[in-house]
Structure 1
Amino acid sequence: MQDINNASYELDYYRHQQFKPGWHSLVEVVFAGIMASADDADGRDFLRLMGSHLAQKTPLPEAQTIGELEDGINATLSHFDWGWVRVEASEKEILLTHYAYPQTPEPDNAPLWTLSFATVLEGIYETWLLAQGGAPHVSLRRKHSSQDRTLVFSYRNGQ
C-alpha cells in the first residue's frame, strides 16, 4: 500500500471541497482586473479595504483569550469555506497561520491569486483584531507563504 502524507491529503481534500467553479472564476477575474487597472500599492489597498468591509459585515464575538479569538475566527471562516487559522501570541507579535485557503481554478494564475487572497485576508484579520481591542497604529501584514500552501500573517507594532 502506498504511504500517504495524511496532512497533505487532508488539505487537498478540503481545497477540493471549497472549489466552486463559477465563483472561483469570477473572483479570479475580479482579482486580475483590480491588479491590472491599478498600480500594485493601490490594488492591494483596495483589496485590503474590501477585506475590512467583509470583516465589518461578519464581526467576531468578543474574545478574552487567544484560544477564544482563534475559535471565533475559525467559526466565521467555516461559513465561507476558507480553511482555518492557528493564532499564536508572543511578547512581540501575534502570528496567524492560515491553512487550506481556496485555490485558484487556473494554476498559472497562482501567484496573483495568492497575493490577492492574502491581501483580502490582511484587511479581514486587521479589522477583526482592531475590533478585539487592537491599536489603530498596529498593522497586520503577510510574512510569507510556505511550501504547504499556508499563509502566515504578523500583527506587530512597527513603532
Structure 2
Amino acid sequence: MQDAHAQQLAYHQRRQCKPGWQDLVQTLFSGILATAEGEDGHQFLRLMGGDLARRHPLPACRTVGELEDNLNRLLAGFDWGEVTLLPGDRSLTLAHIAWPQAPHADQGSWQAAFAAVLEGTYAVWLQAQGGHEQVPLRWQGPEPQHTLMFRYQTGL
C-alpha cells in the first residue's frame, strides 16, 4: 500500500495530465531554454510567472496560515499542486509538492523551467503582501521526492 504522500502525488498527477496542453507547454519551455543564452531563459520564465501572478492576485493575508491557504487556493485553480510555508527567523521556505509533470520531457529541464515560473509567481504574490523587491525568492535546486523548495530570505 502506498503512503499518503505518494497517493497525493499520484492523484495530482492524474488530474494535471492534459494531453496536448502538457506537450505544448513542455515544447515552449524547452524552446525558450534552448534559444536563450545563459540565465536569460530562466529570467524570461520568471517574468512570465510574475505576469501570471498579477493576473491572479493573492488576497491580503494577515497570518502565515492564511497566506498558505490563499496560495493553495490559487494553485488548486491551476492544478499546480500545493505549498507548505515554513517560517524562519529571517526567512520563509516554501515547499511545493505535486507540481505538474511532463511525461515526455527531460525531467531536469522541466523541473528547472517550472521552478523558474514559480519563482516569478511566488515573488510577485509575496511582494503584494508587503514583501520587498530587493529580497530574492529562489529555488533551492533539485530535491528528492518531487518537492520544489524555495527560500525567501532577508539579509543576515
Unaligned 5+ segments in structure 1 are none
Q: 1:1-150 to 2 correspondence within 5 Å?
A: 3-106=1-104, 109-150=106-147
TM-score when normalising by structure 1:
0.94
Per-residue Cα deviation, 1:34-60 (whole angstroms, up to 9, x for no partner): 001111310011000000000000000
- Tell me if structure 1 keeps the 8 A contact 2:8–2:98: no
Number of residue pairs matched by the alignment: 156
Alpha-carbon deviations, 1:68-117, whole Å to 9, x = none?
A: 1101100000000000100111112100000100001215x111110000
- Note closer, same or farther for the CA distance 1:158–1:31 as it changes in structure 2 (3 Å cut): farther
2:49 and 2:95 map into 1 onto residues whose CA distance is 17
Contact 1:21/1:105, CA 8 A, preserved across alignment: no
Which segment is superposed worse, 137-146 or 72-81?
137-146
Farther off after superposition, 45-54 or 98-107: 98-107
Structure 2 unaligned spans of 5+: none
Specify the SS of the correspondent of 1:125. helix
SS at match of 2:151: strand
Amino acid at match of 1:10: Q
Root mean square deviation of aligned Cα: 1.2
The residue type paired with residue 17 of structure 2 is F
**Is the 2:45–2:120 Cα contact (8 Å) retained in structure 1?**
yes
Identity among equivalent positions (%) equals 44
| TM-superposed deviation, 1:144 | 2.9
TM-score by length of 2: 0.95
1:103-140 CA distance string (max 9 Å, x none): 01215x11111000000000000000001000111010
Q: Distance in 2 between matches of 1:116 and 1:135?
A: 24
